[in-house]
């Protein structure tokens, strides 16, 4: 992200002046050796800061149909649920079968296979649901599907803790295709699987060169995800390692230092040539620019918002985690699915829940006129892969 002139600096300067003073300017690119040695970082702790600005609340009113009071209550409850997740999972032990945020009750729900774990889970602050299959069992079924070759008519699959099943998505126009039906039959034979239809096949959201506040790699436009010390993270399908990157004004930013797609969909870009990093997600005038204070993963069911250079700022809910998405270029694993819309050019952009970074936009189906669904690659996986440190306020 770049704030090189006074106009662009004005939106973020007041927010991050203290952070700049404490952290200084961005450091140089992390070395390959450091990246190889790095282990996955622990998510930043949830802060006690106000979870959202007035602009964030306005976007939640628009996209989620909430009143301002309901949005404030929900954000506070989601912050609590995010903090409770790890403790509740430990309390459930081997009977753990997944968890999600229930917006009707404003509470984290933890599924367990053994009633003996219920008391300890409730003591952690979560509600309990008794189910048949453990998370370990369902993850094993999903792993079997990950090892199968999926035809183009299969959109993807993930473990759904609320259904206590692995959900396989079939692209509606291809539902009667012989290869699709064969895959579905094999999937059902692998374990507890349910099949659902999706109206469109997933696609990535890169675009040819147009206007906006993007970054460019050749004639491809994508969106910046999150600032890290030394650069920013984005989607892997936007460029290969070594590819030069230019900014909204056409000047050189740096280059892709690492990139993976398919299999993964993440990358990081070095920053130099007068550019620097700030812990801010653009609100595009729809909401105020949002400070990034950490990267604690929001639970299924929590609200989440996205910023991108085409459709700008939109919000929705977390629908699934650890989903395998079957793009035409190949499968991508460990993705998070949301009800937030996106459009070409939004690829690589920021997903944020409250003030916590969640991931970078990968792809989806639909658009921001008729609606749709979008996947993001979780931020903590990217940081761990490349040995990067998220720039936070």
Q: Where in the sequence numbering do the catalytic residues fall?
A: 237, 265, 347
In the chain, what is the greatest distance between 2 CA atoms, to the nearest angstrom? 61
Calpha distance 79→99 (Å, rounded): 15
330-338 and 350-353 as β-strands: parallel, antiparallel, unpaired? unpaired
The CA-to-CA distance between both ends of the chain, in Å, stands at: 15
Phi, psi of 390, rounded to the nearest 5 degrees: -65, 135
- Cβ pair 360, 366 in contact under 8 A: no
* DSSP one-letter string for 200-236: S--EE--EES-SSS-EEETTEEE---EEETTEEEE-G
- Distance CA(343)–CA(345), nearest Å, equals 6
Q: Are strands 107-112 and 127-130 parallel, antiparallel or unpaired?
A: parallel
- Measured distance CA(215)–CA(218) in Å, rounded: 10
Task: Give exposure, 188-207, as e/b (b: 16+ Cβ within 10 Å).
Answer: eebbebebeebeebbbbbbb
Q: Which of the 8 DSSP states describes residue 94?
A: G
């Amino acid at each position: 992200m770049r704030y090189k002139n006074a106009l662009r600096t004005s939106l973020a300067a007041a927010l991050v002046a203290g952070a700049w003073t404490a952290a200084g300017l961005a450091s140089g690119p992390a070395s390959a050796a450091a990246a190889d040695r790095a282990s996955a970082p622990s998510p930043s702790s949830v802060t006690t800061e106000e979870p959202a600005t007035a602009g964030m609340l306005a976007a939640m009113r628009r996209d989620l149909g909430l009143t301002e009071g309901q949005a404030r209550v929900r954000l506070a409850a989601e912050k609590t649920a995010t903090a409770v997740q790890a403790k509740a999972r430990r309390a459930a032990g081997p009977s753990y079968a997944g968890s999600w945020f229930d917006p009707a009750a404003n509470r984290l729900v933890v599924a367990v296979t053994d009633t003996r774990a219920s008391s300890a889970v409730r003591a952690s602050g979560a509600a309990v649901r008794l189910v048949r299959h453990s998370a370990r069992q369902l993850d094993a079924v999903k792993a079997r599907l990950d090892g199968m070759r999926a035809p183009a008519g299969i959109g993807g699959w993930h473990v759904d803790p609320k259904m206590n099943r692995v959900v396989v998505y079939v692209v509606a126009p291809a539902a009667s295709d012989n290869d699709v039906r064969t895959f579905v039959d094999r999937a059902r034979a692998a374990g507890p699987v349910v099949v659902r239809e999706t109206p469109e096949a997933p696609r990535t959201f890169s675009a040819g060169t147009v206007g906006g506040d993007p970054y460019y790699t050749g004639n491809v436009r994508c969106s910046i995800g999150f600032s890290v010390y030394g650069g920013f993270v984005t989607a892997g399908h936007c460029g290969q390692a070594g590819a030069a990157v230019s900014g909204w004004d056409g000047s050189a930013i740096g280059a892709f230092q690492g990139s993976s797609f398919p299999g993964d969909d993440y990358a990081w870009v070095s920053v130099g040539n007068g550019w620097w990093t700030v812990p801010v997600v653009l609100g595009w005038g729809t909401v105020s620019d949002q400070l990034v204070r950490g990267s604690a993963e929001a639970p299924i069911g929590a609200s989440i918002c996205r910023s991108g250079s085409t459709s700008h700022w939109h919000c929705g809910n977390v629908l699934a985690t650890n989903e395998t998405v079957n793009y035409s270029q190949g499968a991508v694993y460990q993705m998070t699915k949301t009800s937030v819309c996106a459009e070409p050019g939004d690829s690589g952009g920021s997903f944020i829940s409250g003030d916590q970074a969640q991931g970078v936009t990968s792809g989806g189906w639909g658009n921001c006129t008729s609606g749709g669904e979008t996947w993001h690659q979780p931020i903590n996986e990217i940081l761990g892969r490349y040995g990067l440190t998220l720039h936070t306020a």
